[in-house]
Amino acid sequence: MTAVSSVGTITIAGKTVSRLGFGTMRLTGPGTWGDPNDRDTAISVLRRAVHTHGITHIDTADSYGPHTVEHLIRDALYPYPEQVLIATKVGLARPAPNVWAPHGHPVYLRSCVEASLRRLGVERLELCYLHRIDPEVLAADQLGTLKALQDEGKIGHIGLSKVTPEAIRMAGKDITIAAVQNVLNMTDRHDPALELCRDLNIPYVPYRPLDAGTLARTHGVFAPLQWLLQLSDHVAPVPSTSQPEHLDQIVTAVTGGS
């Protein structure tokens, strides 16, 4: 039994994966921009998450770098183990470090998906989130583009990120929502989408579960992640780190060293 097995599993995008996932946002340079300072360490963290700890839910985005982390994932994990879910996101442009701009034009979204397929070395993105709903583009056009790509076999399942309950209900009329990814942690404790996702049987993936490290410094790792895991069985946090030792601490804290 792998260490994270004791935390339980969840079905996301048709795969049964570990409830404790791994977020890859920190595997870049400062400002979520460019290459990491130590590429070998970034590769090591990814391999350690999967091969040592048995984490089977890897969360990324084309905007991390941009593009940097998708390349790292392929170099670290390809060919991907059958049980591993690689989830990525499209729909945020990166004009500069620490700058994120929603970009939901259908042509752009399609180009992003095609590029992610090449970077990850796959024929289908098993789970592709719309990273943000662009307020300047009709939501139906953004969702329709991802649905068309799904119909073409280039996307397996579609997720939504940073969305309100109203947006979830609206999107659910046009697509089957495989997962929702919103901020939730012991600092940002209230998200009305959490209960809606439970009612609709949609996996809820809290990003920034340690509040960018602030909660780990003030409360340790165990309490913030246990708080999330105990909320409901449909909650699957994706803590992120760039250091193998910190990854070990996260897994040990949550699993009790099992």
What six digits make up the tokens of 114? 């095609």
Q: Are 53 and 257 in contact (CB under 8 A)?
A: no
Helix (H, G, I), strand (E, B) or coil at 22: strand
Helix (H, G, I), strand (E, B) or coil at 239: coil
Q: Are 126 and 82 in contact (CB under 8 A)?
A: no
The one catalytic residue among 64, 80, 204, 207: 64
What six digits make up the tokens of 257? 């060293």
What six digits make up the tokens of 104? 């939901």
Number of Cβ within a 10 Å radius of residue 201: 8
User: Could you tell me where the DSSP H helices lie in the chain?
Assistant: 39-47, 68-77, 106-120, 139-151, 165-171, 192-200, 214-219, 222-229, 244-255
Cα 75 to its chain centre, rounded Å, is 18
Give the whole-angstrom CA distance, residue 172 versus residue 216: 35
Let me know if 64 is a catalytic residue. Answer: yes
Number of Cβ within a 10 Å radius of residue 245: 10
Query: Which residues are the active-site residues?
Result: 64
